[in-house]
Each structure stands twice: as C-alpha cells, then as structure tokens.
Structure 1
Amino acid sequence: MRRPHITVIGGGFAGLTAAISSAEGGATVTLHEAHRALGGRARTADRPYRTNEGPHALYNGGPHWTWLKQRGLLKPLAPLPLLPATRIRFHRNGVLRRIPPAGLLKLRGRRRAPVDQDFFTWAASQVGEAAARAAAHYIGVATFHHDPGSLSAAFVQERLRRATALPPEARYIRGGWGELITRMADQARVLGVRVETGARVDALPEDGPVIVATQLESARALLKDDRLRWESARTALLDVALRSRHGDLFAVSGLDFPGWVERFTTADRSLAPYGEELLQCQAGIGPGENRADGIARAERLLDAGFPRWRERATWRRDALALGRTGAVDLPGTTWRDRPSVDRGDGVYLAGDQVAAPGVLSEVSFSSALEASTLALRSVGIAGAGGPAPAPAHGPARLRAS
C-alpha cells in the first residue's frame, strides 16, 4: 500500500521536529524551506563568530530534552561553566550586585500567580514594588519583552521559575544551535524525508495534510487567515567580540530595565577565534522606541560588566528582532488562547506563537509534535512523538550550515 504523504512548510526547529515525527509515524514527508539554509531562528552564523539569533539556551526541564536525547540529537553539549567562571552580576540602581533582591526568588515559590492580573501588580502585592520591578525586568531574558511586568502574572511566573531553577536548567549546544539543526536534518533524511531548500511555497498543496511551521506572519499570508495574530516583542540584539581578558563575567542581568548580556565563549570556546570572547546582548524596546534605544541599553550593561570593552572590541553587529521572539500572553490570556494547531481541512500550525505549552523553544516543539500527531491521525495512522525507533545506523555527521 502507498504510504500517506505529509507536507511540512518551514525548516526551522518546529518544521524539522514535525518532519521527523511524521516520518517516524510511517508517512512520507516533504519539507520545504524558503531559505537556502535550514534552521529559521535556530540558524547559527558561519565562522569566525558563531552567533545565534540572540542569546540561546536549551532548558533540560522541557519536553523536547527527552525527545532529542532519545534520538541522539543532543550531544555534544558544551560543558556547564563552573564557578568562578559563571559569575553573574545583577545591574540594579546603576551598579552591579552579586545577588538579586530576595523578593525576586520568593516569587518563584509562591502559589500559582493569577492569569487575569498583570505580573507587576500581583508581584508588588507579594514582595513590594521594588522587588516586583526587579523580577519583571529580570525575566526579560526569557520573554525578550520591554515590559514583562505588564504581561499575565501566571505567564511571567512560570518563566521566572524555570529561569531561576536550581540546579540551572540552561544547557548549550556545542558550536551553536546550527549544530542541532544539522543533526536534526541528518535524522530527517535518514528517515526518508525529502528536504527542499530555496523552495518558497506560495500556495498550499492539494494532496495530503500540511503542517505550516513558519513565523505567524508568514502563516497568516499563506493561509489567508487574518485571525493568525498574537502578541510578541520587539528586541534589539547586539553581538560583540572582545579580546580575552582574565576575570570577565559570564553574564549581566538588567534589573533597572529588561536586558541581558552573556559571554557564550565561557562554555564553548569554539564560537570565536582563539584569544577572543563572544558576547550576545538583548534589550526589549517599547512601541515608541527604535533599535538605537535598545542598543544603548545593551551598551549600558556592557559598560557596567565589561569596563573599557570598546577598546577590546574586534567585531560587532546589531539587529532588530520583530515577531521572532515567541508569544507573550497578556493578562486574561494563556497559551490556550493563541492560534490553534488544527486549522481545519488538513492544515496544521506549528511555531512559537501557537497554542502549545512551554517556555521559549518548547512551544515550537510541543506544537510541532501536536501537529504531526493530528496529521498522522487524519490519514489513519495513530500515535506520534514516542521513543525513536532503533535505527540500523546513526545519522551521518554533516558540517553545520
């Protein structure tokens, strides 16, 4: 019997997850990616500075961790930095501090925050306005938002718990996220997925289920569905390379305003040439601000944490991220209110602004697995997303794009 066919549009983390899961379920799969390289927001720049699109980390407490591990896609991981190399400082009231306000950590242990109240109002009632403001700004690292305090209290508290978990959940892919994308693409091809890059899709195919794993704006245009909208964030990104110097910090968290600086070569020396350090910074920007405003805030954190960094700089690049920073939930909304995965007529949606639970990349993963499961069921195949079948041989190792 001819196996059913599933089309996946988009070759980022969500698209590759959906393609692998669909192929494991028994379907033939074709994946279309408009760009010449796979990866989407998970692409890693070519050498000499292997930057991601903003600071990236993989939380080992999420559902994708086990799924990737079962398929041998996680390793090699960069080793976790050990003290004192992992020195993190908190920029508060214009100076660096070694520890955050006590109230910030207290909020993560409180009973579940309400959905219909903004985080700042709820947090201020628990620990006071100063600590609530610091906590809201701190979680800019996991929301990319200019004002996390205005978001749903339940949404922000979940991210606060994950971002301050002990031991830390954050892990790093050696060589950048592009290495993970390469291994996932290898796995997809081993399973028989037909991967077509430089293949923009302007109309849905007529045969078989379709999984649209693109940015929500692109999905809205492709599906001609104006309902595909959700709140996201505008974020200024600044990447800099500095000549190495003993004693540099690992990270600086902004508590006076949402911002984050991380020295990624602390964990992975392969990301920059010998003798240089790679730092990636982010700062959310409001509706009335521009990229320069966010870059100025990122530079304030660099000034505080890496004195005279401009004299050591060997390279820099800045960018503005629009609609590429994942969903944010306003008061009164949860992930269940976002655009649904099942769009009807055999069309399914995956991505980081879709109705699926999780933090950061976990939303893309969870929605992709749900889309794959529904697509397989629509063609009479039950079950998807379980342990990987034992392969006859491991996927070939390819150079990262």
Structure 2
Amino acid sequence: MPRTVTVVGGGLAGLTAAIAAAERGADVTLHEAHHDLGGRARTAAAPYRTNEGPHAFLTRSPHWAWLNDRGLVGPVPPLRPGDVRGIRFHHHGALRRTPPLGLLRLLRFAPEKVPADADFLSWASWRIGEETARATANLTAVVCFHHDPGALSARFVQERLLRITGFPPEVRYPRGGWQTIVDRMAARARNLGVRVETGSRIHSLTDLGAGTRTGPVIVATSLAAARGILDDPSLTWPSGRTLLIDLAVREDPRDALALSDLDVPGYFERFTAQDPTLAPTGEHLVQAQVPLAPGAPRDEALAHGEVLLDLGLPDWRDRATHRRDALADGRTGAVDPPGTTWRDRPAVDRGGDVHLAGDQVAAPGVLSAVACAAALEAVSQALGRFRPVPGFRPPAPRSAVGSPAR
C-alpha cells in the first residue's frame, strides 16, 4: 500500500513536496488555506500581471533543473544583448553604467572560503576599502531584500554577489508570470493523483485528525504560520522588510531596464523587457523593491522608491497607467546574521514524522531554490525507508521549450 503523505501549504514548497512524494508512489493530500494555489508566487490577473512579491529564477540553481526536467518551466524569454546595456547604477548621487570596479576583486572568493562569522562589510572593507565594500553590499539588496546587507554574514552575501554578477546573467522570468509555473505544477500534481484541497485552512495538526493520520506531514508554510500549526515558538529566523512598488507606464525609449542604488539599498527592474505579455502593448511593467529597517516608516521607503523611478523612468508620473504599493514584512526569505549559515535555520525534520519546508528553513540555495531544496529534503526524510509501489513509474521528464537546464 502506498504511504500517505499530507502537505500543508500550496505555494512553491508545498507543490514541490506534493509532486516529489507522488512521483515516489505516495498517496498525497495537499491542503491550501486560500482558494488559489501559489502562495507568494501568485500572479495578478491581466492586464497587469504583477507578481505578489519579489521573485526570480536563477538558472544555475538545482530548482531550475528540477522544474525544467519535468517540463514545468515553459517558455522563458531570452536575454538580448541590449537588455544588459540598459542596466544603471546610482552611486555618489549620479547614474553610472557600471558598478565600482573594485568589487571585481571579490569575485575570486568562493563562498565556502569566506568566513560566516564575520559581517560582509568588515570582511570586504579589508580587501577593497570601506566605500567600495558598502556599495557592493548595497548592490546585493536585489537578492537579500535587507536594509543593511553589509551587516549580514560575509559568506551569505558573497554567495549572492557571485550569483548576480555572473555572465551571462542567470536571472530569468517565466513568460506570463510565476502563475504559469504554479498552474503547471498544480496540473502535474493532480495528474499524479494528488488530492488538492483549497480553502482548507489548517490551524494545528489536530485538524488533520491526529487519531487517524497514518503518514508523515510536510508543513510548507511561512514560519509564522508553522509556529501556530506546530505550536513551536522556536520557529523563527530573520528576514527582510521590503516595500514593493508595481508600476505600469507608457513606453519611452529613455527608460532603464534596471536601476540599482549603491548609496542606499534599493532597486527596480522592468519585467516587460523580457516578457512584453505582462502588460498591454506599448506599456512597461516595473517593480521597485526598497528594503526598510524594522520600525522605519513606510513613507521613508516610498519616497526612496519614487526617487529611483525618477532617475530611471523620466516623467513616469505623467505616463503611469497602473500602480500598486505593498509591504512585504518577513516574506522575502531568510537572511543569515554573522555566525550563522543556512544549517542553523529551523530544521526540516521536526520529529514525530513531521517535516518543514519553505524559504526560511535549513536548506541551501538562493531565493526560491531554498523552498524547493527544503521540500525535496522533507520528502526524502518522509519516504526515506518507504519503497515505491511495485511497477510505479513517474512520467518521463521532458525539457521546457527554449529553456535548457543548467
């Protein structure tokens, strides 16, 4: 008989866990509190297909290969040479085409050779000077979503620095927004026999029927939700606090593709440069991301974000056709303080056949890859001694069109 697996949460981690468990022949039920799957990977409906949060795929992550092998990525628009030329940097109050060249000296350090017990600013300042080190730290805010990346673990920041400065760039966005990935994953799960229960909010494990539950549970939610479900106050880890500005403007050839602030952490990117289908013809869809310190007023980040838009999108207020502001507090993944690594985050195995998955869990990776790695580890632990149903074979993997695995 197949082993029963219960997954709580229908975001990327939950869908990954459900698919991986079903591929091994488990009998899987997935509970999602909302009426739609996807969690923070949901995409708003047309005409402005904005993401519910800051997201990006890094093509050298195992998560990308795992999705791509199953045909779940779909078409991914290629980067054109002109796209890279549209990137700008705000440094010393002026717009520049390149970041400080001194940061190149840091790129020869592999993350495992960088100390985890030192903060990045101190470690980098000793090598390239404090001014360039601070600008380099602020550059990584695009993947740290933190108001002071220089105060984080040197190893943590160095890994992210190497990922965003690689060439060719590995950042990719799926055509149609992240919702297209969610929809493919949901279809894959259902085709494998996963029972998907939407509108099913789980407040504690007793809601699953403690007396009748016969298999493992994978809690694939935010840490805040997992604390309540598992009644475990120890499930905490620092994250970022980031203001998001989603903006659509009528096209102007002067618009920058992306602009990163090296003086104070902040960033914006024009998503329609890769995927024009995200907005009506003739319009750009932009998302600005401005990290905000704990307790700092939201208006402070809002003002900074609008300054960045002024610098990179001339006369954007006169061209704006859509705008939405949102604050993502503790929803942008884990950040590792000095003296910690990803191994110090809340463990996947919680004991009692209960496992944890998500982007703030003890699993390696960058951005969404952490959630995927945690989910696959949870399935491995849950079904480690379970033998698949005799004769079971998962569907043969296929490569996504135009998106070779790396």
Same fold (TM over 0.5): yes
Q: Which amino acid in the other structure matches residue 99 of structure 1?
A: T
Q: Secondary structure at the match of 2:104?
A: helix
Deviation at 1:377, TM superposition (A): 2.1
Moved more, 331-340 or 105-114: 105-114
Q: How far apart are the structure 2 equivalents of 1:388 and 1:113? A: 41
In 2: Cα distance, 1:19 partner to 1:81 partner: 36
Q: Specify the alignment match of 1:247 in structure 2.
A: 254
Identity between Structure 1 and Structure 2 (%): 58
Conservation of the 8 A alpha-carbon contact between 2:21 and 2:28: yes
The change in CA–CA distance for 1:54 and 1:82 in structure 2 (over 3 A counts) is farther
The equivalent residue for 2:198 is 197
Partner of 1:30: 29
- Show the 5 A alignment for 1:242-391: 242-377=249-384, 380-381=386-387, 389-390=395-396
| SS of residue in 1 equivalent to 2:277 | helix
1:39 counterpart residue number: 38
In 1: Cα distance, 2:344 partner to 2:139 partner: 25
Letter of the aligned partner of 1:390 in structure 2?
A
C-alpha displacement of 1:85? 6.7
Where in structure 1 are there 5+ consecutive unaligned residues? 395-401
> Shift in Å at residue 276 of structure 1?
1.1
Q: Which amino acid aligns with 1:3?
A: P
Q: Is the 8 A contact 2:56 2:367 kept in 1?
A: no
Q: Say if 1:235 and 1:321, in contact at 8 Å, map to a contact too.
A: yes
In structure 2, the partner of 1:149 is 150
Structure 1 partner of 2:403: none
User: TM-score normalized by structure 1?
Assistant: 0.94
Matched position secondary structure for 1:299: helix
Contact 1:32 1:200 in 2 (8 A): yes
Matches of 1:388 and 1:25, distance apart in 2: 7
Q: 1:53: which partner in 2?
A: 52
Structure 1 counterpart of 2:13, which letter? A
User: Which segments of 5 or more consecutive residues in structure 2 lack a partner in the other structure?
Assistant: 400-406
Q: Are the aligned partners of 1:86 and 1:251 in contact in 2 as well (CA < 8 Å)?
A: no
How many residues align? The count is 389
- Equivalents in 2 of 1:367, 1:277: separation in Å? 35
Distance across 2 between alignment mates of 1:163 and 1:235 = 19
Q: CA deviation at 1:53?
A: 2.6
Q: Deviations over 1:84-141 (max 9, x none)?
A: 5751000111111001001223212235221000000111001001110101100000
Q: Does the CA contact (< 8 Å) of 2:204 and 2:228 recur in 1?
A: no
Distance 1:54 1:311 in 2: 25
CA contact (8 A) 1:11 1:213 kept: yes
Q: Which residue of 1 aligns with 2:175?
A: 174
Q: Which amino acid aligns with 1:196?
A: E
Distance 1:136 1:323, change over 3 A: same
Question: Are 2:143 and 2:367, in contact at CA under 8 Å, matched by a contact in 1?
Answer: yes
* Partner in structure 2 of residue 398 of structure 1: none
Q: Deviations over 1:207-252 (max 9, x none)?
A: 1100000000000011000110101111111111101112321100
1:229 aligned residue (206, 223, 236)? 236
What are the Cα deviations for residues 7-40 of structure 1, in whole angstroms up to 9, with x where unaligned? Answer: 0000000000000000001101000000111101
- Give the TM-score normalised by structure 2: 0.93
Alpha-carbon contact 1:351-1:365 (below 8 Å) kept: yes
The 4+ residue runs of structure 1 with deviation greater than 6 A are: none
For residues 388 and 306 of structure 1, the distance between their equivalents in structure 2, rounded to whole angstroms, comes to 48
- Taking the aligned partners of 2:198 and 2:248, their CA distance within structure 1 comes to 31
What amino acid is aligned across from residue 332 of structure 1 in structure 2? G
